[in-house]
Amino acid sequence: RDDRVAIEDKILALHPAREEGTESFTTAAGTKIRLTGKLTYKVDLIALQSLTLDWPEDVRPVRMKLEADETKLKAIRQESPTMWARIASAVTTKAAKTGVAIEFKGE
């Protein structure tokens, strides 16, 4: 791994990669090298959402993912039949694959 990283560093010293995107080139010996630059984004989602609330929705850099909370669904199903009856038509339940673990003596 260390050798590979050292070689990559030497290649990048001779041919810096783009900030983002892919670039290919071929060496004099015919070896094709592809460099892919990437950026990662770490975001304070609450702040970003607040700062862009007045932006048109199609350009806001925040996406909401609506998903069911299975932990709460399980609790409601087990502990509150009245609440479950109210939402059951919107929830499909089915048995998942049962896990099986076998442990041999001495192992």
pLDDT at 103: 79
pLDDT value for 15:
86
Interacting residues of 37 by C-beta distance below 8 A, sequence separation 6+: 17, 18, 19, 20, 21, 22, 23
Residue 35's contacts (CB-CB under 8 Å, 6 or more residues apart) are 11, 12, 15, 17, 18, 22, 23, 24
pLDDT at res. 86: 97
pLDDT at residue 82, as a whole number: 97
Q: Which amino acid is at 73?
A: L
pLDDT at 107: 63
Report residues of the chain scoring pLDDT below 70: 107
End-to-end CA separation in angstroms for the chain? 34
